[in-house]
Structure 1
Amino acid sequence: MLPEPHRLHHSADFQRVMRRGRRMGRQDLVVHAFARDDAGSETSPGRSRFGLIVSKAVGPAVTRHRVARRLRHICAELLSDVPDTSDVVIRALPGAARLSSRDMHRQVRSGLKKLGYVEAAKDERA
C-alpha cells in the first residue's frame, strides 16, 4: 500500500500538477508529473507524492475502488524509481477498468518514462 506521506491530499497540489506539470497520455491512463524543485515548493520536501483521479466514467463504485487500489499498489512499487521531488497524478480513463494489473503497471511506467521520471533501464521488469 502507498504510505501516507507519499500521497497527495490537497486540491491545490492536484491543480499544480495538472496545470503546471507535464502530461503523457496512454491508452487507458493519463500520467501527469511535476517536479517540485522547479516551483520551489516547501511542501513535503524530499518525498515523491502520488495522487489518483478515478471518475465515475470508469464505472460503478466497486470498479472505481478496485482501479484505485491497483493504482496505489503500482505507485508504491514505483516510489524508489521516481525522483524524490516529484508529484505525480494518475488519471484513469474508462478503459482502465478492463486492464490487467500488469498492463496497468506497464502504462503507468511507460508514461513516467516518456516524461523522464523513470529510467529506461528499470523499464523491463516483468
Structure 2
Amino acid sequence: MLRQAHRLRTSDDIRTTTRRGRRAGSRTVLAYVRLGARRPDDSVRVAFVVGKQVGDAVTRNTVKRRLRGLMADRLVTIPGGTDIVLRALPSSARRSSVELGADVDQVLARLITSPATPGSA
C-alpha cells in the first residue's frame, strides 16, 4: 500500500502530469512522468488510472491493487519530487504480476534514465 505522501490525488496534479510529463508505453501500461515536478527532497507521488475498458469493477480494482504493490517496491529507485501517472491498458487484466512488473520497469526505465527530448517536461 502506498502511504498518503506517495499519492497523487488532485485532478489538477494528474492533468498537469499527463499533459506536461514525458510519456512511454508498453503492452499493459502507459506512464506519464514529470521529473522534478517539485523539490528533490519531496516524496514521489503516483496516481493510477484504470478505466472501464480494463474490465468490470472487480478486475479494475485487482489491477489497481497490483499496480500499487508494484510501485511501492519501486519508489526508492525514483528521484524525489517526481510525479507519475500509470494508466492501465485493457491487456493488463490478462497479464501476470511478473509480466505487469516487467512492463512497469520498462516504461519507468525509459522515462527516468533517458535524457529529455526537446519540448518534453
Q: Does the alignment pair 1:97 with 2:58?
A: no
Contact 1:82–1:117, Cα closer than 8 Å, also in 2: no
Match of 2:57 among 61, 66, 72: 61
Q: Which residue of 2 aligns with 1:6?
A: 6
- Percent identical pairs in the alignment equals 38
The superposition leaves residues 75-108 of structure 1 with CA deviations (integer Å, 9 ceiling, x where unpaired) of: 1001100111100110001000001001111101
Q: Which residue of 1 aligns with 2:16?
A: 16
Segments of structure 2 that go 5 or more residues without pairing to the other structure are: 115-121
Moved more, 26-35 or 60-69: 26-35
Q: Normalised by the size of structure 1, how large is the TM-score?
A: 0.85
Q: Secondary structure at the match of 1:9?
A: coil
Structure 1 residues 8 and 93: CA distance shift in structure 2, 3 A: same
CA positional deviation for 1:30? 0.3
Q: Normalised by the size of structure 2, how large is the TM-score?
A: 0.88
Structure 2 counterparts to residues 1-126 of structure 1, below 5 A: 1-37=1-37, 41=38, 46-117=42-113
The aligned amino acid for 1:63 is T
Structure 1 residues 117 and 71: CA distance shift in structure 2, 3 A: farther
Name the Cα RMSD after superposition. 1.8
The superposition leaves residues 15-43 of structure 1 with CA deviations (integer Å, 9 ceiling, x where unpaired) of: 11100000001011101100234xxx47x
Count matched residues.
Answer: 114
CA positional deviation for 1:117? 4.8
Segments of structure 1 that go 5 or more residues without pairing to the other structure are: 119-126
